[in-house]
Structure 1
Amino acid sequence: MPASSSSAFASLSEFAALLAASPAADATALAAAAERNGQLTKPPGALGRLEDVAIWIGGWQGRAQPRIDHPQVVIFAGNHGVTAQGVSAFPSEVTVQMVANFRHGGAAINQLARLHGAEVEVVALELDRPTADFTESPAMTEGETVAALQAGWNAVNPKADILVVGEMGIGNTTAAAALAAASFGGTGADWVGPGTGVDAAGVARKAAVVDIALAHHAGQLDQPFEILRRVGGREIVAIAGAIVAARHARVPILLDGFIGTAAIAPLARGNAAITDHCLAGHCSAEPGHRRLLDRLGLSPLLALDMRLGEGSGAAVAAQIVRAALAAHDGMATFAEAGIAGG
């Protein structure tokens, strides 16, 4: 079930206040999880990063022995007016068709989510009304931006143990590149990639489109929400809303690929701590993703050359998280096992 039928905010300024008031992890639980980890029947650090993941999850779940009993997987879908610039190998109609596929259980994410013990929830955002072409005007009005943030906020189940957020939106790798460039600098060529499979000429066209957008909005990209509003998309803004909602509910997040990560780039530019409850599930094959993860200080769990989106990489990484928690929760301590040296 969603967090609520109505959001905790009604304007961008109110959402900004919530972002600024984002809570921290439970320090007591974090310490208790670390203490338990030090007592388990293994040499210190022998499970490597699995130990760090388990302790991190414990801090956000507020318990020394964290578990995943109620995972949530949500996909946000939206259409982009910038596709008029020829930036995608597929038409916008594919977004609608893939939403139907998600709802019928036929996509890759459906299979991976079931393996993770979750069903896919889909939030489609006005697919019959794409955002404006951001090379000519802001992608969204302030009201549309607030509505997308609310959709993301309301989709989060505050009782979830962990949240995977995915996306679907033809043209959204171009929007992600524009968001990354507006947040951290660089040109279109520094951030764009093949996306759904465009050729070298298509990649060059995407880079040019991003540069045109940056020039068109020059002087207006100094605030996080202006960046999201001007060069983002509804599904990307919804992911930002969901991530902040999860933070307030202390639900740890598994980020997916370039687009989902780009959703928080504008927020992190002015509030780097927003990533504290986020774990990068993987590094995708989209070239800008590694660079963006580095700028956000996030180290991915996996690098499998995936570039599907949908939350698929994060859902695969969820199995690594489950492995970390299984060891942390199920292993005996030295005292329980009667082994000296603990």
Structure 2
Amino acid sequence: MNFQETLQHKIDTKTKPLGSLGILEKIAFKVGNIQQTTSPILSKPAILIFAGDHGIVNSEPVSPFSQEVTTQMVFNFLNGGAAINVFCQQHNISLKIIDAGVNYDFGKIPYLIDAKINKGTADFCIQPAMNLEDCKKAINKGKEIVTKQFTEGTNIIGFGEMGIGNTSSASLLMSAYTKTDISKCVGKGTGLNNDATRVKAAVLRKSQETHSNITNPLEILATFGGYEIAMITGAILQAKALNMTILIDGFIVTSALLAAHAIEPNVIDNCIFSHCSDEQGHTKMLQFLKADVILNIGLRLGEGTGAALAYPLVQSAVKFLNEMASFESANVTNKLS
């Protein structure tokens, strides 16, 4: 048997009906295949939250919240008050907060990683959100931060984000990378009603028309992305290069994955999809990537919360693979006589 057949045989011959642990069996196979071992180990899980502001918020009605909420939420993360703090503490996941491009001078604050490229992006209705040089800087910074995490012993990593207006960026990135009409990509974000969501879609369509000739994957990211999304793109690419297991969160993080996938299609081989967001475009993103998800519980918070909530099930998948008895070791007959 080749390695994959050996790994599948180990899963199939545990003391259970074939396939009866459902998606846990797929997760066990995925992690084992990433690590190329039938006895994988999860080491020092971490979630990195990247925060950045978006220029579109200052000029167009795409969010009910102002940019200052991004700053306020960064302080909330640092003070341990957000949902992601609670879930990471519950599941013993290391949490790091990164200023990728928030429109605020934090100075030197304990536990905040300063990776700021600029104080937010430009208004992409008028000009590209980032120039190519700054986009590349953000990607490289994401790679650098993941490499540091890897050297600290982490082999499974997830990403979260905070940035008022970033569902607008994610919608445009989704539309560009998947060739989906923008009306099917736009959701309510941080709480828009139906009328406001239609206005948001019209604003984003106008932005597409302004930049209608953009086709290169990196140019698409620079034109419509945010600094936090570009850093997550780089982080995903580097996590793949370091052969880490990558826990993909919801709509925003998946838009970064679409960018990474457009640059390096094989990145998908290391990804486990934590959940299906309640943001309407996420389902279509997952279909485009042919992804199976672990959870479908109506989440649309962001922050990496889906990844944190899914992690214990990844743990369970690895533990059954490593510790559950086989039919042979337990002297149990594995088929009807």
Report what 1:170 is aligned to: 164
Among 186, 193, 211, the alignment partner of 1:199 is: 193
Structure-1 separation of matches of 2:312 and 2:20: 19
Map 1:146-225 onto structure 2 (within 5 A). Answer: 146-156=136-146, 157-158=149-150, 159-220=153-214, 222-225=215-218
Paired residues of 1:188 and 1:209 also in contact (CA < 8 A): no
Map 1:66-105 onto structure 2 (within 5 A). Answer: 66-84=40-58, 85-105=60-80
Structure 2 length as normaliser, TM-score? 0.89
Deviation of 1:89 after TM superposition, in Å, equals 1.1
Deviation of 1:30 after TM superposition, in Å, equals 4.2
Report what 1:116 is aligned to: 91
Deviation of 1:31 after TM superposition, in Å, equals 4.4
Counting matched residue pairs gives: 315
Report the 3-state secondary structure (helix = DSSP H, G, I; strand = E; otherwise coil) of the residue aligned with 1:230: helix
Structure-1 separation of matches of 2:238 and 2:318: 24
Instruction: Name the % identity.
Output: 37
Structure-2 separation of matches of 1:323 and 1:184: 33
Report the 3-state secondary structure (helix = DSSP H, G, I; strand = E; otherwise coil) of the residue aligned with 2:101: coil
Report what 1:59 is aligned to: 33
Deviation of 1:197 after TM superposition, in Å, equals 0.2
Paired residues of 2:44 and 2:94 also in contact (CA < 8 A): no
Gaps of 5+ in 1: 1-26
For each residue in 1:158-205, what CA deviation from the matched residue of structure 2 results, as whole angstroms up to 9, or x when unmatched?
232311111000000000000011112233211101000011222112
Structure-1 separation of matches of 2:155 and 2:6: 18
Structure-2 separation of matches of 1:333 and 1:264: 37
Report what 1:33 is aligned to: 7
Structure 1 length as normaliser, TM-score? 0.88
Paired residues of 2:28 and 2:314 also in contact (CA < 8 A): yes
Segment of structure 1 superposing worse, 123-132 or 59-68: 59-68
Paired residues of 2:28 and 2:317 also in contact (CA < 8 A): yes
Deviation of 1:68 after TM superposition, in Å, equals 2.0
Paired residues of 1:61 and 1:161 also in contact (CA < 8 A): no
Gaps of 5+ in 2: 104-118
Structure-2 separation of matches of 1:154 and 1:271: 18
1:317 equivalenced with 2:310 (yes/no): yes
Letter in 2 for 1:148: A
Among 263, 285, 289, the alignment partner of 1:296 is: 289
Report what 2:245 is aligned to: 252
Deviation of 1:288 after TM superposition, in Å, equals 0.5
Letter in 2 for 1:100: F
